[in-house]
A and B are shown apart, each in its own frame.
Chain A
Amino acid sequence: MQRKLEDDRTIYQQIAKTIEDDILKSALKENDVVPSTNQLAKFYTINPATAAKGVNMLVEDGVLYKKRGLGMYVSKGAKETIMKKRKQSFYQDLLINVLIEAEYLHISKEELADMILNNSITNN
C-alpha cells in the first residue's frame, strides 16, 4: 500500500488509485478482501465518507464487489478491467511527459526507442 496521498487528485480518487495499484501489482488478488473504509480512513487520516466514496467508485467500475456484512472483495477480472482503463490514460498522462523530458534532454526518438527495447525491467 502506498504510504502517503499525493494531493493532486481528489482524495477519493487517490484512494481508488492506491487500491487499483495494489491489484495491478498483484498485492491484492481476485477474491481477496480489501481494507475496510474504517481502516483506510485511519491509515490516511481521512473522512470515512470520503474513503467509502473511493471504494464505491471501484464497485461501480466492477473492480470490487461487496459481500454483505463482510466487506469488499476484488472481482474476477479486476486486473484486466483496470489495465484496460489505465491504458487509455497511459499516453496522455505518462508517455507525453516522457516525450517532453526527452526533448529537454535532446534524446532522439531513435535513442528513446533503443532505451525502451533494451530496457531490462522484469515482467512479473
Chain B
Amino acid sequence: MEQIVLKTKSLNKRFGKKMAIEDFTIELEAGKIYGLLGRNGAGKTTLLKMISGLILPTDGDIEVFGSNPFENTAVLEKVCIVLETQLWEPTEKLANILKICSEVYPKWDQEYAELLLKKFNLDKSKKIKQLSRGMVSAAFIIVGLAAKTPLTIFDEPTLGLDAAVRETFYNELINEAQEGERTFILSTHLIEEVHRLFEEVIIIDTGKLRTYQPLEKLRQSGYYVSGKEDDVKAAVEGLNVIEMQRLGSLAVCTVIGDKKDAIGKPGIEIEPISLQKLFVHMTEHNKEENSNEL
C-alpha cells in the first residue's frame, strides 16, 4: 500500500467574490514527482499555499501527513515550499537564510547546501537584493533541495534560470527522488522541457481540478492524424476533433480519444500528441479561435 502524503477534500478558497480554488479533491502518494500545470491565475499558488499551511481554506479539508497543516509545526517541518515570490527580506543574507532553514527543518543537510552553492556558483555572503532574478531562483532551489523534507513543493522554480542551471536542478531533483523517500510537487510552464520528470500530472483550470493522471496515461489520451485532407476527414469522422490545420491539400487533425479509433484507416499517419498541446486544449476557453487555416 502506498502511503498518502496529502489529501484534500472539497477544498474551496474564496478571495472576495472570486473562487480561487473550487471543490478541489485530490490524494498524493509518497515518493513521486507530481507535476502541477495550470495557466497564469489558475489557482496553482493558492492551492500550494494552502497545502503548506501558509493560508487557510474558506472551507473543505486538507490533511498533510495525516493532520491539518495550518500553524502545525509537526507538519510544517516536513513540508518545504519554494514560492515564485519569496517571503524573505531583500536585506537578508543568503547565509542567514540557510541558517534559519537549518533550524526549521530537522533533516536539513548543510553539507549538501554548501555543495549546491558551489554548483550554482552562489556566494552566500550576498544579500537577496544583490542577486539577479536567476540567482534568487537558484538560492531557493537550494533551500528546497537541502531541506530534505518528505514533501517539497517548487512553485515555478526555474524563473530566470539559464538552461545550464535548469539542467543542474533537474539532475539534483532526480537524485533526490531516486531514493523514493521524498515527494515533490513541481509547478511549471516549461511543459515540454520538464514533463518527462513527472510521474503524475495534475492540471488545474480556473480553480478546478481538470485532470489528475499518470503521465503515460495522459499522453495516450490524444493523437494527431495527418494525410490528404479527404483521407483525414474520412478517418476522423465521428471522432472528437479539437483542431484541424490545413496545408495545401494536406491536413492535420488533433483528436482526443484512443488512437485505436483511427488506426488502420487508409491514407493517414498517426502521431502521438504533445503534452503541451493537450494542456492548451484542456485549459482553453475561447474555442472559436481553434480552427486556424494555414
Contact = CB atoms under 8 A, between A and B. Distances in A.
Interface string B196-216: 111100000000000000011
Interface in A22-65: 37-38, 41-42, 44-50
Interface stretch (A5-13, A71-79, A82-90): A5-13
B272 interface: yes
Given A8-B272, A45-B197, A47-B199, A38 B178 contact: yes
B196 A47 contact: yes
Interface residues of B, number: 22
Contacts of B171: 42
A97 to B, nearest CB: 10
A41 B178 CA distance: 9
Contacts of A7: 272, 274
A11 B170 contact: no
B108 to A, nearest CB: 23
Contacts of A12: 216
B177 interface: yes
B175 A38 contact: yes
B271 interface: yes
A41 B174 contact: yes
A8 B167 CA distance: 24
Contacts, number: 49
A12 B175 CA distance: 18
B178 A37 contact: yes
A103 to B, nearest CB: 12
A13 to B, nearest CB: 9
Interface in B236-286: 271-272, 274
A42 to B, nearest CB: 5
B288 to A, nearest CB: 30
Interface in B95-133: none
Contacts of A5: 196
B33 interface: yes
Given A47-B215, A49-B199, 11 more contacts: A8-B271, A11-B215, A38-B178, A41-B174, A41-B178, A42-B171, A45-B167, A47-B177, A47-B198, A48-B177, A49-B177
